[in-house]
Amino acid sequence: MNEIEGLVREYGKFVRLPWDVSLAGPQRVWFAVYDPSQERRLRLRVSEFETATGSAGHTWRLVDLTDAFAHWMAQHEYREAYFEQPENMELALEDFAVAVIAQIREALTAPDVDSNTVVAVVGVASLFGLVRASAVLDQVTQYVRGRLLVFFPGQHEGSNYRLLDARDGWNYLAVPITATEEK
């Protein structure tokens, strides 16, 4: 069994567990942690996570951040100037973070999303080098009604998470789901 098959299996077990409705937003976040080299395999199998969610009696909503930067940049009034002088883009990236936060918040607060819904976020790696995933997640956890599942290509050790195995990580309350059960 490969890593992604194991992750689907473990997620299937995890999503069936009873959900504590008294948890705070940051405690309702799950990180499906996998090796970054498995990104394409994971994307091919996202529908299996959706199926596992439905089989457990929960609803599913997917947010894909993969093209978020391209869409944001295409609409930016100064896009041509940023392509000519990318070093000037740093301040504009704060606006990009706001746009990503709004995209996730919109999914979390949609009328059809409730305390029984898993809102899954794929494409977090596409934020790397542009905005800090930790800053984005900190701004959306208050809106989590059910569970927020973040497909996380990286590592975790204890409560420290490292996106794309970057040197610096951050401490986070998210519950890790890995291809093998935590002991």
4/43 Cα distance (integer angstroms)? 10
**So what's the pLDDT on residue 28?**
94
30 strand-pairing partners: 149, 175
The residue to which tokens 């995933």 are assigned: 133
Residues of the chain with confidence (pLDDT) below 70: 1, 78-89, 165-172, 181-183
Integer-rounded Cα Rg, in Å, for the chain is: 17
**So what's the pLDDT on residue 183?**
38
119 within 8 A of 144, measured Cβ to Cβ: yes
**So what's the pLDDT on residue 124?**
93
**So what's the pLDDT on residue 85?**
63
**So what's the pLDDT on residue 60?**
98
**So what's the pLDDT on residue 163?**
78
**So what's the pLDDT on residue 70?**
85
